[in-house]
């Protein structure tokens, strides 16, 4: 990465991760004070290894054992939608996903499943993304998201558009759910991050595209609140998403965002990639549904440089 690109990425990262006052001694009006004590609302990291960033970030939430108990079943849902290699930025980082599987088993998980309802052929996408090899190396199980019988119709009472989606059984039945999107541009949804990753949980994506995609993404996020959202922003496709092409710009931002608040982490992701919040309606739609907050200045945000 050239120096000018690093400086640009670092400046954007500082804008996002420093909102809680980490880069300035003066607090903004109405800003929540940050003491470094207790569990943060959001953690923003920058480093050379997605796996090491995950370990450092999860430690601030009490470690993996704060989420995974012995004997539990865990689902890690990365973005694996495309038959593209890791360097494309189209899918979640395999090093990150593999480390998460490893840590879950160390905490005593009985089973760790990984899946996505892919857009490209699922066998090819799982393999070429590098995620299949990374997961299986740590003892995890890859599950196809391409079998309709594995989806069950549920009611989503507070949804405005998508009230009866068919949702993959793993999400409905697991004890622990980690949402692991990749941050990138998306031609239709404008942004792929934590909320958009829920499109890989449902069977009928065509319904979502045909019935106000931005609202349906927010509706889908009501299906089940993740125990933790872990946003891969290591390689960020800032143009040409979601699959990428020869003209796509992939920025080596070497970042990771973690939060229980799906709206807050998407807001931080939008700022990190430099997309105005008003252009990504599903984030504000999610806030209206009570899924979280876009007001990052009210949150305890920790910044870590590794």
CATH number for the domain spanning 160: value is 3.40.50
The pLDDT mean for the chain works out to 90
208 Cβ contact list (under 8 Å, min separation 6): 162, 199, 202, 216, 217, 220
d(CA 62, CA 250): 33
pLDDT digits (tens, 9 = 90+) for 90-129: 999 999 999 999 999 999 999 999 999 999 999 999 999 9
Does a structural domain hold residue 29? no
Distance CA(46)–CA(94), nearest Å, equals: 17
- 183-235 pLDDT, tens digit per residue, is 999 888 899 999 999 999 999 999 999 999 999 999 999 999 999 999 999 99
13 has a pLDDT exceeding 90: no
With respect to residue 140, please indicate whether it lies within any of the assigned structural domains. yes
Question: 255 is in which domain, residue-wise?
Answer: 3-21+39-305
pLDDT digits (tens, 9 = 90+) for 166-182: 999 999 999 999 999 99
Element (H, E) at 192: strand 190-192
Total number of domains constituting the chain: 1
Is 32 a domain residue? no
Higher pLDDT, 88 or 36: 88
Summarize the confidence of residues 139-161 as an average pLDDT: 97
Which of 26-32's residues contact partners 24+ apart within 8 Å by CB, and which partners? 28/297, 30/297, 30/298, 31/297, 31/298, 32/297, 32/298, 32/299, 32/300
Residue 31, domain member (yes or no)? no
Residue 27 is assigned to a structural domain of this protein:
no
Residue entry with tokens 């480093």: 47
In this structure, is residue 182 part of a structural domain?
yes
* Residues 138 and 98: beta-carbon distance below 8 Å: yes
Phi, psi of 47 (to 5 degrees): -170, -175
């Amino acid at each position: 990465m050239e120096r000018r690109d690093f400086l640009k990425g670092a400046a954007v990262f500082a804008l996002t991760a420093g909102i809680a006052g980490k880069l300035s001694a003066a607090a903004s009006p109405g800003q929540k004070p940050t003491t470094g004590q207790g569990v943060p609302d959001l953690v923003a990291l920058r480093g050379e290894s997605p796996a090491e960033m995950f370990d450092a970030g999860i430690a601030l939430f009490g470690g993996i054992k704060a989420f995974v108990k012995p004997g539990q079943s865990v689902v890690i849902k990365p973005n694996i939608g495309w038959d593209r290699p890791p360097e494309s930025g189209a899918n979640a980082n395999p090093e990150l996903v593999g480390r998460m599987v490893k840590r879950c088993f160390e905490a005593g998980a009985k089973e760790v499943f990984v899946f996505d309802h892919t857009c490209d052929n699922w066998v090819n996408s799982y393999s070429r993304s590098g995620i299949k090899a990374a997961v299986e190396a740590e003892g995890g199980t890859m599950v196809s998201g391409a079998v309709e019988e594995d989806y069950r119709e549920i009611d989503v009472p507070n949804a405005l558009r998508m009230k009866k989606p068919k949702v993959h059984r793993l999400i409905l039945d697991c004890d622990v759910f980690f949402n692991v999107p990749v941050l990138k541009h998306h031609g239709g949804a404008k942004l792929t991050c934590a909320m958009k990753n829920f499109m890989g949980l449902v069977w009928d994506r065509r319904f979502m595209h045909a019935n106000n995609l931005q609202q349906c993404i927010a509706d889908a996020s009501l299906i089940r609140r993740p125990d933790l959202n872990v946003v891969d922003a290591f390689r960020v496709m800032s143009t040409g998403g979601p699959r990428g092409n020869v003209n796509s710009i992939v920025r080596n931002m070497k970042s990771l965002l973690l939060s229980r608040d799906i709206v807050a982490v998407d807001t931080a992701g939008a700022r990190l990639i430099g997309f105005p919040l008003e252009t990504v309606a599903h984030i504000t739609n999610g806030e209206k549904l009570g899924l979280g907050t876009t007001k990052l200045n009210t949150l305890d945000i920790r910044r870590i440089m590794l």
